[in-house]
Chains A and B, each alone.
Chain A
Amino acid sequence: MLTSCEEVFFQPEPANDPEALFENLWKVFNEDYGPTTERGIDWDALYATYRPQVTASTSDDELFAVINSMLATTDDGHVNLTAPGRDGVNANYLRQNEINDSLFNLDNITNRYLEPGFTLLKDEFVYGTILGENIGYFYFNNIGDNFFAFHEFLDIYKDATGIIIDLRHNGGGDFTYCYTEMGRLVDEKRLAFSSRTKNGTGPDDFTDWTDWYVEPEGEYYNKPIVLLIDRFTISAGERAVMAFMTLPNVTMIGDTTCGAQATIVGRELANGWYYTVPIQNTLLPDGKTYEGVGLAPDILFYNEINEVRIGLDRTLEKAVDEF
């Protein structure tokens, strides 16, 4: 019984050679990648371009480069490739090349813009009072159970002029934490987005659409809200932005988000490399998809790198000016 079952019952595994590795990865993207249409990708054409570049004698370095070149055509911030001893590669040009990555610096905010005594949980959140103002500030590093602190924040700033929610460089996580914890910000059920998931290998094999709402819960908080976003606001961070976009009292300032909004799954190759595959479509209440496009701010505003380097955050200052 120890070994015979494997030979008899298990389905054949993909082989561990350069051609089989490429074939395995391409097949998964061809069958499971959700935003193919939104991002205008032709997987057959990509196969025709890149498959001939892989042969039985292709080295690991060459294979890594070929796969990354193919995946880079998606420009999808949710597509990553990881291999031993290398830096992980992201298919999104801005993220991979860290373009404008330095325009946000949390230390600048805690050093210059918050009253002493702010609350900080490393790699999770920072909240406090804007220096010299009656304005609450909350920075979320990701979307997760750090949103449980949001209730306390709203209680503290219930009499404030307004609040600033900073989702710049928000790396995503589980958007449902945001949706369940921001019920105090709505007075009626509001549709944030709809999504569907691949459920078969065919290009049109998707589940039915599911509508995601923010529903009222608790004491209504209707103060003005400024939401800060940037090109590194991604994934569940963007789904959090979608929820805030439904509120009439929100002004969004900053730069357009990454535009990688689909839920992802991980996958592995026979040689131990790992990669991620987005598997969903997403629609906003206007019936349009912003996958690959990003969510645009109401007020487009950039920090300047030379000002960031001397501790300034002009985007945050712009947000304060809104009150």
Chain B
Amino acid sequence: MTDIQISAVGIRKNQLHVFAFFLSCFLFLLSPLLSYAQHPELSLRAGPGFHDRQDQIFSPFVHHDASFLNFGLQYDWGKKMDQFIALDFGSYNPILVPSYTYNEDDITYPHNFTLVNLTYGLGKKMQVKREGDEFTLGGFFEADVQAATYNYAWIGTSGYMAPFSLGIWADYQYQLTPKSRLTGKVLLPLVSLVARSPYLANDDEYIENTANHNGFKTFFEFLGDGDIQTLNHIQQLEVNLGYQHQLSERWSIGGLYAFRFIHYSKPLNFLSYRNTFYFNLAYAL
């Protein structure tokens, strides 16, 4: 009955506190190493992306879409320690077959996936032999919020998949010429608080979470129902490969290929990957 269910929710909400505790520890332990920016850099990126996703809660089919609605903003800074904070957005509208008319004048609509990533990373430069190259190792926190609306003709079902992760990252910058370099960055989430639509998406707990009719409160209700997961249940990987060319003392341009992968097995299989090809513009502040 409801009382039992509320207790269960309470346990999961305690897990949120545990996750917040770990995150606080992560930031606190590294905070003495933070420094004021020496050469902070702000970069903007945008470009086409390709998204493939199979979420068995909503459909047994793999949904594919290509979209130009991919944007990112990143700020890098640091002296003793390298830091970055990045906000990325993507929107995709896959549909199994082209939209069609039914009931004479009604039409079907594609599904929608709105993907938002907020990432903060902190790392330390490691020694490298090759002059001009840089190698950084560090830890990061990422909030990966994926909101979905599955449209089935006259009815739509909303869902969410939102891992909030702590992990490790490595970045290598290879100097090609004095004005150009290749970059490679890998982020590997290790532990995540995963907020995820329930089995069949629309159970009483989900309805309770939305009953406040306030999107902000509902978001935190969903988050509070999340579970802490490690690599045995959730596997994630991000790989960024780029080229950057310095145009002037402050401006540089380049291209960036970003690959993101998520597989999660609870309560039903979820698998998603994205390939995005960004044009990147950076400005040294």
Q: A98 an interface residue at 8 Å Cβ cutoff?
A: no
Select one of B108, B151, B203 contacting A207, CB under 8 A: B203
Q: B52 an interface residue at 8 Å Cβ cutoff?
A: yes
A1-44: CB near B (< 8 Å → 1, else 0) gives 11001100111011000000000100000001000000000000
Chain B residues whose CB sits within 8 angstroms of the CB of A83 once the complex forms? 102
B62 → chain A, closest Cβ, in Å? Answer: 5
Q: A196 an interface residue at 8 Å Cβ cutoff?
A: yes
B202-232: CB near A (< 8 Å → 1, else 0) gives 1111011011110000000000000000000
Of all chain A residues, the one with the shortest Cβ separation from B100 is: A84
Select one of A212, A270, A274 contacting B153, CB under 8 A: A274
B207 close to A9 (CB less than 8 A): no
Q: A257 an interface residue at 8 Å Cβ cutoff?
A: no
- The residues in A between 194 and 221 inclusive whose CB is less than 8 angstroms from any CB of B are 194-200, 207-212
A265 close to B62 (CB less than 8 A): no
Chain A residues whose CB sits within 8 angstroms of the CB of B213 once the complex forms? 145, 176-177, 180
A197 close to B204 (CB less than 8 A): yes
Interface size on A, residues (CB 8 A): 52
A84 close to B62 (CB less than 8 A): no
B1 close to A13 (CB less than 8 A): no
A208 close to B203 (CB less than 8 A): no
B149-162: CB near A (< 8 Å → 1, else 0) gives 01111111100000
Segment of A85-93, A305-313, A315-323 in the binding face: A85-93
Q: How far is the CA of A6 from the CA of B62 in the complex (A)?
A: 8
B204 close to A210 (CB less than 8 A): yes
Q: How far is the CA of A196 from the CA of B178 in the complex (A)?
A: 66
Chain B residues whose CB sits within 8 angstroms of the CB of A1 once the complex forms? 259, 273, 275
B196 → chain A, closest Cβ, in Å? Answer: 14
A6 close to B103 (CB less than 8 A): no
Q: How far is the CA of A9 from the CA of B201 in the complex (A)?
A: 23
Q: How far is the CA of A194 from the CA of B4 in the complex (A)?
A: 14
Chain A residues whose CB sits within 8 angstroms of the CB of B259 once the complex forms? 1
Q: A266 an interface residue at 8 Å Cβ cutoff?
A: yes
B221 → chain A, closest Cβ, in Å? Answer: 13
B130-164: CB near A (< 8 Å → 1, else 0) gives 00000000000000000000111111110000000
Q: How far is the CA of A200 from the CA of B213 in the complex (A)?
A: 28
Chain A residues whose CB sits within 8 angstroms of the CB of B201 once the complex forms? 265
A88 close to B1 (CB less than 8 A): no
Of all chain A residues, the one with the shortest Cβ separation from B102 is: A82
B69-97: CB near A (< 8 Å → 1, else 0) gives 00000000000000000000000000011
Q: How far is the CA of A86 from the CA of B101 in the complex (A)?
A: 8
> Which of A87, A88, A208 gathers the greatest number of chain B CB atoms within 10 Å?
A208
Interface size on B, residues (CB 8 A): 51
- The residues in A between 65 and 97 inclusive whose CB is less than 8 angstroms from any CB of B are 80, 82-88
User: Known contacts A85-B102, A208-B1, A272-B97; is A265 also within 8 Å of B211 by CB?
Assistant: no
B155 close to A272 (CB less than 8 A): no
Q: B263 an interface residue at 8 Å Cβ cutoff?
A: yes
A108 → chain B, closest Cβ, in Å? Answer: 25
User: Known contacts A267-B59, A270-B96; is A200 also within 8 Å of B199 by CB?
Assistant: yes
Of all chain A residues, the one with the shortest Cβ separation from B208 is: A210
A284 → chain B, closest Cβ, in Å? Answer: 15
B59 close to A210 (CB less than 8 A): no
A87 close to B103 (CB less than 8 A): yes
Q: How far is the CA of A264 from the CA of B202 in the complex (A)?
A: 8
Q: A129 an interface residue at 8 Å Cβ cutoff?
A: no
Select one of A179, A212, A279 contacting B200, CB under 8 A: A279
Of all chain B residues, the one with the shortest Cβ separation from A279 is: B200
Q: B5 an interface residue at 8 Å Cβ cutoff?
A: yes
B264-280: CB near A (< 8 Å → 1, else 0) gives 00010101010100000
Q: How far is the CA of A199 from the CA of B197 in the complex (A)?
A: 12
B61 close to A270 (CB less than 8 A): yes
Q: B112 an interface residue at 8 Å Cβ cutoff?
A: no
- The residues in A between 259 and 293 inclusive whose CB is less than 8 angstroms from any CB of B are 263-268, 270-272, 274-276, 279-280
Select one of A13, A197, A270 contacting B203, CB under 8 A: A197
Q: How far is the CA of A264 from the CA of B156 in the complex (A)?
A: 10
Q: B172 an interface residue at 8 Å Cβ cutoff?
A: no
B211 close to A199 (CB less than 8 A): no
Q: How far is the CA of A7 from the CA of B29 in the complex (A)?
A: 42
Chain B residues whose CB sits within 8 angstroms of the CB of A266 once the complex forms? 150-153, 155-157
Given contacts A86-B102, A271-B97, 8 further A-B contacts (CB under 8 A): A5-B261, A11-B56, A82-B152, A84-B101, A88-B102, A177-B213, A211-B2, A268-B96
Return 22 A-B CB contacts under 8 Å, by A number: A13-B62, A14-B60, A80-B153, A80-B155, A88-B153, A145-B213, A176-B211, A180-B213, A196-B204, A197-B204, A209-B2, A210-B208, A211-B1, A263-B202, A263-B207, A266-B151, A266-B157, A268-B96, A271-B97, A272-B96, A274-B152, A276-B152
Residues of B whose CB lies within 8 Å of any CB of A are: 1-2, 4-5, 50, 52, 54, 56, 59-62, 96-97, 100-104, 106, 108, 150-157, 198-205, 207-208, 210-213, 259, 261, 263, 267, 269, 271, 273, 275
